[in-house]
Amino acid sequence: MLPVEARAGVLSAAEAAAVTAEVRSTARDALAADGVAVSGAEGTPATALQAGAALALFGRAARLEGATVIAVGAYQAGSVAPAAVARVVGIGLDQLRAEIRAKVPGLVRTALGLASAAPEAPPAKGTLRLPAGTSATAAAPPVATPPVAAPPVAAPSPAPPEAAPSAGAHPSAAPPSAAPRANANESALVALIREVTSDVEALRGLRRKQNLKILVLDDKLFAAALREKVLKDLTPAIVAAERARWTAFALAPPGLDPGQVLLGVLDEQVAGFYDPFSKQLIVRKDAPGGPEALRVVLAHEIEHALQDQNFGIPDLRLLPDDDVRLARTALYEGDAMVVMTAYGARRGHQPVKAAISGGAALMRAVDTEALLRMSGKSPALLEAPAILREELVFPYTAGFGLVAEVYRRGGFALVDKMFRSPPVSTHQLIHPEAYFAGEQPAAVPFPPAPPGTRIVATGRMGELGARVAMEVCVDRAVVKDFVKRWQGDAYTIVAGPKGALSLFWTSAWSGDGAREVANLLQLEQPCWEESALPGTARIAAAGEVVAVSRGAGELGAVQAKQLTTQVRPPPPSPPLGDVPAPAPPAPPSVAEGKLLSPRLALHAEVPDGYALEASDPAVEFAIRREKAGSALLSFVPEPLAGEALENFFQRTSSPIATALGGRLSLVESKKRTLLGATEALERTWTIEGAATRLRIDLAPACAGKATLLLVRIESGSGAQETLERFATSIKSTGLAPACAELD
């Protein structure tokens, strides 16, 4: 086990040593019964393997969305790439140690061939819709309690103090009288709120129509305000309906109580939330992360206040069903996510358009559980039922994705139009093209209640809920292929004379989806049989409709009516008019030895024997020849200078050296003309022990707003001269479309 790399700003030397010791100890315990010795080593994986080790472990730490991420790679002799990697994610040493103990034993045993790779355990099943406003953690995309079952209510019982008489934001001058006052700290916070409000107004193009009221509370009062707000909305009727849905769809273990789940989730710390009823932004006085982290959270929540004053935040109880409520929430949270991202980019002198598009792509690419870990959420939330996590995070991830795409096509002026024509289903959020086309869900009627029963709950699962319900016993990859054909659904849950529940769920699917979904639901039977809902399940399909009925009593009569449902989706009505997406540039290509990159408006001569190869999405193009060398070129949507330039060279060169199993030794650093720029900077290293040279060139692009990165790995005879000719052959063909991604 080599020392975990202690990078400045990620892990201190003491923390890196503690993590290294934990990995060694965990690996030693995992392999003790097999007679495999574990020891410390210095140098690189290559040197450790050359010294006779069967396996070398090496960890590299990075910071991602407020969490520490350590990629622990298991290297074997004869390979520059790790045979297996464990991704350890946590906030603080305790979480990192727990992750190491959970993941390293499987890593080492699998890499040594002592065990086969085991799939990750499926997440817990269940559902809960939290009827609350927004909240957020500092230094991470805020994951909050979306207003689904009912709108937020005014939470704090103490009356807020009067607003400060100022032309800027109008925050309260102090917390309620019950809270101790600290003038210096509060003055700094008031000034911070004032500044962020002004910046967000200018960035978003929305203005306050009335004073923005800010209530600043200490930790104790803030926690009480948040708790009171949620508990007031969590009425007995809502709890009963949610418990019935959990049971009916087998989404949670029997006996799990929604109220208790909620109270556990509330243990996580939030920095602030906007209350549409009291028209107040409620802020924790001593928010985690300090002023810079608080700025980003404030930008998100202040945008909610501007939304309310300019467009109104609807009474969600007046919306027709669960799916519409979740989709509407996603619009408000998605807009706030875009504003928060744009504000952070401006603060960091980064291009706003690129930050928004990149951030939205990242959120779509990361699954819910990973996102919660990166966001630093409490263990209670990570252990909560799966549908709770999905519906909690969905407004931020999918909402961000849809609003980011609207912004890409027409800026904030087009985003404003979304509030007049909001998305109406989770299907439109999951598939943005469905929103732009104006595809409407079919108006599937709620199944009737059998005689002698009473209705406990009705609702619509939507595409998101349907997916999670079908994942109870079926692999997500399989469900994903079918659920995109969702057209509409409706469920009714009833209680019989003795309180026994029955579920009737009608769903509509396009194409031949109904038959396939019915077959898929048959696989749910083992899980349903183990659930708390007694009785049998009947599944049938007719045309585009699937009818599910399960529980006690006579199910056939209702199911027969379900199967007569006629599916007639309303005609499409594009909500924003004709706003086609900009045509993406063609991908890089090679023809007759000439490489062309339309996105970067570059062409080059490809050396004999080198071929264009598929690479990381962050790489524009890469060429490679076996046992000779390789070169890749990337577009970096920001200028690099000073400390940022030095950090970029370090971040780019170190992983390459590690992968090649050697240490870097700087040969030279010089300015040169390259990639159409006279001020390009080139650095060259030898990689000790690998008989390889590494060259990295950085050249300004887009009139200094971006940077072109050229990386060359010269590992064979004549590779240096060949790849230098390739580098000097790269020429511009005109204005690069990629520059339009910048501001």
Q: Are 361 and 648 in contact (CB under 8 A)?
A: no
Pick from 198-207, 209-218, 550-559: least confident: 209-218
Confidence tier at 204 by pLDDT (50, 70, 90): very high
- Chain center to CA of 21: 31
> From the DSSP assignment, how many helices (H) and strands (E) are in the chain?
22, 23
Q: Are 611 and 624 in contact (CB under 8 A)?
A: yes
Pick from 284-293, 470-479, 540-549, 583-592: least confident: 284-293
Give the start-to-end residue ranges of the domains of the chain. Answer: 13-111, 170-422, 454-562, 589-741
Rounded alpha-carbon distances, angstroms, from residue 609 to 23, 60, 615: 43, 34, 18
User: At 362, is the secondary structure helix, strand, or coil?
Assistant: helix
Rounded to whole angstroms, the Cα distance separating 266 from 145 reads 10
Rounded to whole angstroms, the Cα distance separating 424 from 322 reads 10
Rounded alpha-carbon distances, angstroms, from residue 349 to 355, 644, 646, 703, 743: 11, 12, 17, 15, 11
What is the token pair recorded at 651? 């971040």
220-265 pLDDT, tens digit per residue, is 888 887 777 777 777 788 888 888 998 899 888 877 888 778 767 7
Per-residue model confidence (pLDDT) at position 25? 93
User: Does residue 271 register a pLDDT over 90?
Assistant: no
Q: How many CA atoms lie within 13 A of 51 on its CB side?
A: 14
Per-residue model confidence (pLDDT) at position 31? 92
Cα torsion for 309, 313, 318, 324, to the nearest 10°?
140
Sheet holding 501-509, edge to edge: 454-459, 486-495, 501-509, 545-551, 536-542
Q: Which of these, 343, 270, 271, lies nearest to 306 by C-alpha position? A: 343
User: At 682, is the secondary structure helix, strand, or coil?
Assistant: strand
Sheet holding 602-605, edge to edge: 589-591, 594-597, 602-605, 731-732
User: Does residue 99 register a pLDDT over 70?
Assistant: yes
Rounded to whole angstroms, the Cα distance separating 96 from 380 reads 17
Per-residue model confidence (pLDDT) at position 96? 87
414 or 581, greater pLDDT = 414
Model's pTM, two decimal places?
Answer: 0.67
Confidence tier at 181 by pLDDT (50, 70, 90): very low
Per-residue model confidence (pLDDT) at position 280? 85
Sequential DSSP letters for 277-342 = TTTEEEEETT-TTHHHHHHHHHHHHHHHHHHHHHT----GGGSSSHHHHHHHHHHHHHHHHHHHHH
Query: CA angle, corner 273, sides to 93 and 426, nearest 5?
Result: 90
Rounded to whole angstroms, the Cα distance separating 531 from 250 reads 6
Per-residue model confidence (pLDDT) at position 386? 87
User: Does residue 156 register a pLDDT over 70?
Assistant: no
Q: What is the mean pLDDT of residues 348-370?
A: 83
Per-residue model confidence (pLDDT) at position 80? 65
Q: What is the mean pLDDT of residues 397-423?
A: 96
Q: Which CATH number fits domain 589-741: 3.40.50.150, 3.40.1000.10, 3.40.640.10, 2.40.50.140?
A: 3.40.1000.10
Rounded to whole angstroms, the Cα distance separating 21 from 299 reads 40
The average confidence (pLDDT) of the chain is 82
Cα torsion for 552, 558, 563, 567, to the nearest 10°?
-120
